[in-house]
Amino acid sequence: MIEVQNVTRYFGRVMAVNDVSFEVAKGEILGFLGPNAAGKTTTMRVLTTYLPATKGTAKVAGFDVHDQSMEVRKRIGYLPENPPLYQEMRVRDYLDFVAKIKQVEPKNRKKAVDEALGKTGTTNVGNRVIKTLSKGYKQRVGLAQALVHNPDVLILDEPTVGLDPKQIIEVRELIKSLAGNHTIILSTHILPEVSMTCERVVIIDKGKVVAEDSPDNLTKKLSGSMRFKVVVDAPRDQVEEKLRSLPGVKKVTPANAPGNKKLSTLLVEGQGKEEIRPVLVKSIIENGWNLYELTPEGMSLEDVFLHLTTKEEEPVQ
Amino acid sequence: MRKFLAIYNREVKSYFSSPIAYIIIGLFLLITGVFYYLIVTSFVQYCMRADMQAQYYRMAPPKLNVNVMAIRNLFQNMSLFMSFFLPMITMRLYSDEKKTGTIELLMTSPITNLQSILGKFSAAVTLFLAMLAFTSVYMILLFIYGNPELGPVLTGYLGLFLLGSSYIAFGVFFSTLTDNQIIAAASTFVFILFFWAIGWVSAMVSPGLGHVLSSFSLIEHFEDFAKGVLDTKHIVYYLSFITMGLFLSFVSIESSRWRGR
Ligand SMILES: Nc1ncnc2c1ncn2[C@@H]1O[C@H](COP(=O)(O)OP(=O)(O)OP(=O)(O)O)[C@@H](O)[C@H]1O
Ligand SMILES: [Mg+2]
């Protein structure tokens, strides 16, 4: 449904997007993940025909974003980083206007607007002037705007920014429910969002794609080094010092013990794939401490993200 | 067409749902009203003095032309005030969309840049026509209390309409250049003044060059309309000016996509 091929975009001498390629199948939800200034917004703007690419091509629903931009525009709903709202308009009038320029048939327009209001939980503010709405409601109206013409492809730039936790969950559910009939790309910094809503993730950093896979696979691939949570009934400093001195141990990070103050919790990371559990247990017993817990800790997507975007010398294949 | 109308309607509604349209129309009427009053009273005084002199010398009272002496003067004043008020109408057309990011909605919707430019231009022209329509009250008063010729009044209005539309076309262009409304208005105003000033300079340089320069002057072409002369040459001039402004707006929007701002 969406094909991005070697897209590069310069702003003057700044390279915002560097040779990015990926594909999104029909009905799929793709998460677009990356730190600030990674080039997420720029890539999305190329896809929505707002910005031309300096090099490379992109196709949406089989139409080239540059040569057949009108065809592409008919098929996309786009929520930009800042919701594109006419502050002085009323919500309903605004959505009606958007429906008009998105070529919704006049006879279906009222229904389309009502549905968009319903889906985004904004029916009750339909008659309010947009500038009087709270930030979260503005964001919802922005989302309604992207949905109003029921487009095949949705491109959402940080759709849950500014929403309250309940609404975040609702919007994620909404996005999930739209998949299947719609193809969706959403960008975010919020990692749990990706693991919750997306089937596939593209991680982008400094304009380049650094990884592309399902959230689960990404986490698995990267949890190469072993990490364990250790709970011991001894002063934390002592335990930390002792464990750090053991062979094969790369890193010991103290983690707060919840509740019981006598217990210390630490995260121990081994070197490479070497098994360090026997060494840990032995050393703890020898010191006369009691071991309460020893559990493997997988790398969270958060770690994967940091790992990928801070250390370039360890690329993931 | 439907999409052009969508843009046009939204812009017209946004003009009239904010106080700006009323303030601009009000101020324009106020200032033209003041000049109307000054021009008409001085014309009346002049007539009375001429009558008295004629009686003194036992001659027939002179026929003084209200078209020439009052209406033409009023049109010229209005053409000047427009150069000040019309940039305030056009300044927000694109600048505001750039500032708030709604331009991103327009430029990712299946409407062409031409549709959006024409929609915005026509909306501003509509507001301008409303402004002109209100000033017709002044003219109607003259028709009630005097007997001016209708012809020059009509051509004068046509001239004002064409002149104002030229201002607006370039106002649209300058608003595509910046996301700052004040800068958009100021540069439109300076641009208009420049095309006026060409007329003044032309009087000072050699006749050949002066003729060329004055043929570019916005106001030189207006003179005939104010006098009641309808010449296609002038109409073509203003239509080309309008087309030029709209074309430059188009180029500016396209190129801003490449630049990315
Ligand atoms: N219009 C522009 N003019 C100049 N530089 C730009 C422009 N837009 C983006 N950039 C630059 O391109 C790079 C990528 O920006 P982009 O907005 O795509 O990042 P992003 O991944 O969306 O970041 P964020 O998470 O902060 O939204 C940045 O270095 C930015 O400064
Ligand atoms: Mg961004």
At A298 the pLDDT is 63
Contacts with A5 (C-beta within 8 Å, 6 or more apart), sequence order? A21, A56, A57, A58, A59
Q: How would DSSP label each residue in A51-90?
A: S--SEEEEEETTEETTTTHHHHHHHEEEE-SS----TTSB
| Pick from A59-73, A148-162, B212-226, B242-256: least confident | B212-226
Closest Cα in chain A, distance from residue B20 (Å): 13
Residue A314: pLDDT over 70:
no
At B261 the pLDDT is 65
Domain CATH code at residue A19: 3.40.50.300
Chain A positions touching B104 (Cβ under 8 A) are 45, 50, 78, 80, 84
At A222 the pLDDT is 59
Q: Are residues A230 and A213 in the same domain?
A: no
Q: Are residues A84 and A149 in the same domain?
A: yes
Q: Is the CB of A51 under 6 A from ligand 1?
A: no
At A41 the pLDDT is 94
Residue A317: pLDDT over 60:
no
At A307 the pLDDT is 65
Q: How would DSSP label each residue in chain B?
A: -HHHHHHHHHHHHHHHHSHHHHHHHHHHHHHHHHHHHHHHHHHHHHHHHHHHHHHHTT-PPP---HIIIIIHHHHHHHHHHHHHHHHHHHTHHHHHHHHHSHHHHHTTSS--HHHHHHHHHHHHHHHHHHHHHHHHHHHHHHHHHS---HHHHHHHHHHHHHHHHHHHHHHHHHHHH-S-HHHHHHHHHHHHHHHHHHHHHHTTS-HHHHHHHHHH-TTHHHHHHHHT---HHHHHHHHHHHHHHHHHHHHHHHHHHHHT-
At B58 the pLDDT is 74
Half-sphere exposure of residue A89: CA atoms within 13 angstroms, side-chain side: 20
Q: Are residues A215 and A257 in the same domain?
A: no
Q: Are residues A141 and A27 in the same domain?
A: yes
Across the interface, whether the CB atoms of B109 and A102 are under 8 A apart is answered: yes
Residue A144 domain-assigned (yes or no):
yes
Dist CA B255 CA B249 (whole Å): 10
Instruction: Quote the DSSP letter at residue A233.
Output: S
Contacts with A92 (C-beta within 8 Å, 6 or more apart), sequence order? A113, A117, A126, A127
Report how many domains make up chain A: 2
Instruction: Quote the DSSP letter at residue A65.
Output: T
Q: Domain end: A172, A201, A221, which one?
A: A221
Dist CA A12 CA A313 (whole Å): 28
Query: Can you count the helices (H) and strands (E) in chain A?
Result: 11, 14
The pLDDT > 90 percentage for chain A reads 44
Q: Are residues A204 and A276 in the same domain?
A: no
Across the interface, whether the CB atoms of A103 and B3 are under 8 A apart is answered: yes
Average pLDDT, chain A: 85
Residue A26 domain-assigned (yes or no):
yes
Q: Are residues A206 and A268 in the same domain?
A: no
Chain B residue whose CA is closest to A70: B110
Residue type, B37: Y
Residue A307 domain-assigned (yes or no):
no
Residues 79-108 of B with CB under 8 A from A: 100-108
Residues 106-135 of B with CB under 8 A from A: 106-112
Residue A288 domain-assigned (yes or no):
yes
Closest Cα in chain A, distance from residue B15 (Å): 10
Report the pLDDT averaged over residues A28-49.
Answer: 91
At A273 the pLDDT is 66
Q: Are residues A82 and A57 in the same domain?
A: yes
3-class SS of residue B111: coil
At A164 the pLDDT is 83
Report how many domains make up chain B: 1
Structure confidence at residue A112 as a pLDDT band (50, 70, 90): very high
Q: Are residues A130 and A91 in the same domain?
A: yes
Distance A109 CA to ligand 1 centre (A): 35
Q: Are residues A73 and A189 in the same domain?
A: yes
Domain extent, residue B91, equals 2-259
Q: Are A316 and A211 in contact (CB under 8 A)?
A: yes
- Residue A6's Cα: distance from chain center in Å? 22
Residue A177 domain-assigned (yes or no):
yes
Q: Are residues A130 and A176 in the same domain?
A: yes
Structure confidence at residue A313 as a pLDDT band (50, 70, 90): very low
Residue A311: pLDDT over 80:
no
Q: Which is higher by pLDDT, A250 or A42?
A: A42
Q: Are residues A168 and A119 in the same domain?
A: yes
Across the interface, whether the CB atoms of A48 and B108 are under 8 A apart is answered: yes
Nearest ligand to the C-alpha atom of residue A7? 1
3-class SS of residue B209: helix
Domain CATH code at residue A260: 3.30.70.1340
Print pLDDT tens along chain B (261 aa): 888 999 999 999 999 888 888 999 999 999 998 888 888 888 878 778 887 888 888 777 666 676 666 788 888 888 889 999 999 999 999 999 999 999 999 999 999 999 999 999 999 999 999 999 999 888 888 888 777 788 888 898 999 999 999 999 999 999 999 999 999 999 999 999 888 877 777 777 777 777 777 777 777 788 888 888 888 888 999 999 999 999 999 999 999 888 776
- Residue B175's Cα: distance from chain center in Å? 17
Domain extent, residue A140, equals 2-221
Q: Domain end: A221, A240, A275, which one?
A: A221
Q: Domain end: A221, A246, A279, which one?
A: A221
Other residues' Cβ atoms within 10 Å of the Cβ of residue B144: 8
Q: How would DSSP label each residue in B70-89?
A: IIHHHHHHHHHHHHHHHHHH
Q: Are residues A231 and A211 in the same domain?
A: no
Sign of CA dihedral B184, B186, B190, B195: positive
